Amino acid sequence: MSEIQESVHTNQSPLSLRFQSLVAHINQHIIGQPHLTERLLLALLSDGHLLVEGPPGLAKTKAIKVLSEFVEGSFHRIQFTPDLLPSDITGTDIYRPETGEFVFQSGPIFHNLILADEINRAPAKVQAALLEAMAEGQVSIGKRSLPMEPLFMVMATQNPLEQEGTYPLPEAQLDRFMMHVKVDYPDTESEHAILELVEQEARTNDPFNDFAALSQNDLFAARRAILGIHLADSVKNYIVELVMATRSPQKYGKELADCISVGVSPRATIAISRCARSRAWLNGKNYVSPDDVQAVIHDVFRHRLILSFEAEAQGIETDDITDQILNFVPVT
């Protein structure tokens, strides 16, 4: 089941219940990855982008494809390779000799849900083109700037096992992703369930016909409702103190200060707030609690915290530092 609580709150709206039902239906098709499923919905509801890292075969591609079956909108998968050109994803002007004019042929980026598969295999110019679409909501073609669709989400994947022929993403692009999610192998029980699911889907012509897809209007209405979730000043202060701890770690001791090279940006503050609101709304709450903040902070900090060389040499990871910060900063 999803990490989302199963208890039904009296103040839950019908729309919130529909999105909870959506999570449950996705988990029926994506076995053993409830964390990824919830993060996909949080990114979608928070109008953000997702970076997913994990070994091959863990349903990363299938997860966003299944989501696209349940949400009204177009889906496209882009396989990133070292020989890819920016125009391969943005599109280009095509000359029509019969009319003597150039006509723009849009590329695959002009879809609602994008899977950027193995994004770190793309060269810098391609990454820059994707960065513009993600950060600015537009694509530049020559002297023109073309807007993206109102519903636009990128889920990019990275394979941590093979680094040959890859181009590490610069910090500026990593910061544009709302969350960085790590996925791991499912447990034994889930592995058995996967076998059953594969056999069942092989016998079913349309495995997605048991759920009415949510419209884009439903999604935008959900986003408006999430903006109305109450975020108390005490929780705002808690979020800011967690962020400031990454920039002034010496306040909490030399050991923590020696591990952090660069703290997180203001985008982290915004991402925590948005994701915590979305999680609270999905849980049927009308307020954000510190638990919601703590539930999303690892995925928000993971790709933004830059550790010192000494910390990396000791095998310390960003999640370890985030745990320390959560222990140091009191809940207000």
298-332: pLDDT as tens digits? 999 999 999 999 999 999 999 999 999 999 999 97
pLDDT in the model for residue 93:
84
Q: Half-sphere exposure of 271 toward its Cβ, with a 13 Å CA cutoff? A: 29
85-107: pLDDT as tens digits? 989 999 988 888 888 888 888 89
pLDDT, average across residues 63-85? 91
pLDDT in the model for residue 295:
97
Beta bridge partners of 145: 140
170-228: pLDDT as tens digits? 887 888 999 999 999 999 999 999 998 888 877 776 666 667 889 999 999 999 999 99
Indicate if the alpha-carbon torsion angle 197, 198, 203, 209 is positive or negative. Answer: positive
In the chain, the domains with their CATH numbers are 14-193+212-219 (3.40.50.300), 230-328 (1.10.8.80)
CA–CA distance, 242 with 236 (Å, rounded to integer): 10
CA–CA distance, 115 with 60 (Å, rounded to integer): 9
Convert 288-311 to b/e letters by CB count within 10 Å (16 or more is b): bbbebbbbbbbbbbbbbbbbeeeb
6-55: pLDDT as tens digits? 334 445 788 999 999 999 889 988 999 999 999 999 999 999 999 999 88
* pLDDT surpassing 60 at residue 234: yes
The residue type found at 154 is V
CA–CA distance, 42 with 296 (Å, rounded to integer): 9
3-state secondary structure (DSSP) of residue 314: coil
Selection from 174, 172, 66 nearest residue 119 by Cα: 174
pLDDT in the model for residue 5:
43
pLDDT in the model for residue 287:
95
